[in-house]
Chain A
Amino acid sequence: MQPIVSIQSLSKVYDSGHQALSSVDLDIDEGEILALLGPNGAGKTTLISIICGIVSSSSGAVSVAGHDIVRDYRVTRDLIGLVPQELTLGAFDTVWNTINFSRGLFGKKPDTAYLEQLLKDLSLWDKRSSELRTLSGGMKRRVLIAKALSHEPRILFLDEPTAGVDVELRQDMWKLVRRLNDSGVTIILTTHYIEEAEAIADRVGIINEGKLLLVDDKQCLMQKLGKKTLQIELKQSIDELPPELANYNLEFSQDGSRLIYTYDTDLERTGITALLQTLHEVGLSLKDLNTSQSSLEEIFVRLVNTR
């Protein structure tokens, strides 16, 4: 299947000399939710801005549904909706006027029925005659989404959709994103919240200092990079590790009551059986066992720090 967005060795150097992106390659599949995860200033917004036509690239190419974003900008932009990070809205326009403006800007004929449904879906219908400045932050965010969806795009870019949004609203936002995705819209969102990527994305791209460090299915990513740890609590504390256990690279707590074994779930042999066997042979009795998997956060921190 042809990717709906294809990015090839895309680079951006700002006039200030700041290299915001260096040679990014990325294919985005139709219908997926892709989270671009990275710290502030990693280049996420620049990447989105280039695809949407707000920033021009220094080198490289982007195509949307097979069309070049510069040469065929009318086709590609028609397919894309963008929800910016900042709550950039006029102050005195009404909700209804502003979404009609957006729809017209994208060359679509007025469609009252569609826009009415859109506002209802976003729980904004009651507010259609309100001036934008009177709305709360959460509502403004939804108005921005309504504007982005007003021309019925197939791809939606959400730049930090939950930055500065409280927990409850964030949950609502995630539900909304899933619902949109279910209706067939491809969603690309940027975030620096790991929970967010973990909660809603199908695939996660990790971006730092303008480089796309890796892109993978969220599950694969966690499996591939996710180390599991086995915590073994002992009935009796020990002063030092028996020599038979030296090969297992065990960490061992200060009071000597707990051993920690780190293993890779992807390996054919995790070594757990052998470890338990050895423990039994040296005569240690177990009180409790506990396994835990590293979260996306730990993976992320590790990636960002080591490269």
Chain B
Amino acid sequence: MINFQAIRVIYKYEMLRAWNTLLQTIASPVISTSLYFVVFGAAIGSRIQQVEGVPYAVFIVPGLVMLSLLTQSIANASFGIFFPKFTGTIYEVMSAPVSFFEIVVGYVGAAASKSLILGTIILLTANLFVDLNIAHPFIMVLFLVLTCISFALFGFIIGLWATNFEKLQLIPMLVITPLVFLGGSFYSVSMLPPVWQTVTLFNPVLYLISGFRWSFFEVADVSVAISLAMITLFLLICLALVWWMFRSGYRLKQ
């Protein structure tokens, strides 16, 4: 038996939280995406012209979307579970007839949904600046959904792990943001010196961006199958971690 009501109210509560901070939720990604377009697309794009046959301003769109998806999925999900822990209201969830599965579906589902909406908004915004053609819409959506879910899960893990606000920011700032910027969001790996090309292959985010970009332009740094395998692997690792955390009551139960 699954407590659907619990999933419903957690999901609704989390979505409502975004609705109440609508300006922050929608305006900030739209503004930052526009800024990236102005700075990268106009300033740098006027010098680079084309990357692998794609105009530079268009080429950076998938990277931009991924940049926001990754950071926002993590931010949303980590805050969603960290805040009740911080204020103490988590007691209610813990004393309710709710399984770990239902808690995860509620919180992570809401965070992933928000990211998905955000990704769509960014794509629409980008479409105002450049002409976007999506070669493989189905694969594109698949990447979008998988990324939102896995990184929302990852954020959820961070939120469970964090014991203060500093820790909450630590991994997104020191790990995720550098990985995204160095993962070929704004360039093709082939533009790097050979040594750095090899180093970049150890960056998991590269596979994400490459695969996602392939779904738009059929241009990729690594094969799309490897990209899909990598994101699936990451999803499985996160699922296993969450399962273990709840199983052991990690940072929730004393």
Interface residues, chain A, CB within 8 Å of chain B? Answer: 14-15, 52-56, 73-75, 77-78, 80, 82, 84, 86, 88-93, 97, 100-109, 147
Contact = CB atoms under 8 A, between A and B. Distances in A.
Contacts, number: 79
A98 B249 CA distance: 25
A93 B97 CA distance: 22
B91 A84 contact: yes
A104 B9 contact: yes
Contacts of B170: none
Contacts of B39: none
Given A101-B13, A104-B8, A54 B94 contact: yes
A298 B242 CA distance: 51
Contacts of A77: 95-97
Interface of B: 1, 3-6, 8-10, 12-13, 16, 20, 84, 87-89, 91-99, 249, 253-254
B92 A14 contact: no
Contacts of A14: 254
Given A55-B253, A74-B1, A90-B87, A105 B92 contact: yes
A102 B93 CA distance: 9
B215 to A, nearest CB: 38
Contacts of A90: 84, 87, 89
Nearest to B2: A107
A97 B16 CA distance: 10
A53 B6 contact: no
A107 B97 contact: yes
Contacts of B249: 56
Nearest to B4: A107
Contact of B89 (A55, A89, A103, A107): A89
A109 B6 CA distance: 10
Contacts of B1: 74
B91 A82 contact: yes
Contacts of B98: 105, 107
Q: Is the interface of B mostly helix, strand, loop or mixed?
A: helix
B96 A106 contact: yes
Contacts of B92: 82, 102, 105, 147
Given A77-B96, A84-B91, A90-B87, 11 more contacts: A52-B95, A55-B253, A73-B97, A88-B89, A89-B89, A97-B16, A101-B13, A103-B5, A103-B9, A106-B6, A108-B5
B91 A56 contact: no
Contacts of B95: 52-54, 77, 80, 82
A105 B93 contact: yes
A158 B147 CA distance: 43
Contact of A109 (B5, B13, B87, B99): B5
B251 to A, nearest CB: 12
Contact of A86 (B20, B88, B254): B88
A234 B93 CA distance: 66
Contacts of B88: 84, 86, 88
A197 B210 CA distance: 67
A106 B3 CA distance: 8
- The 8 nearest A-B residue pairs measured at CB: A104-B9, A88-B88, A74-B97, A77-B97, A52-B95, A105-B96, A107-B3, A104-B5
Nearest to A14: B254
B20 A78 contact: no
Contacts of B6: 104-107
Nearest to A107: B3
Contacts of A80: 95
Nearest to B248: A56
A299 to B, nearest CB: 32
Contacts of B20: 92
Contacts of A104: 5-6, 8-9
A194 to B, nearest CB: 27
Q: Which of A89, A103, A104, A108 has the most CB of B within 10 A?
A: A104
Contacts of A74: 1, 3, 97, 99
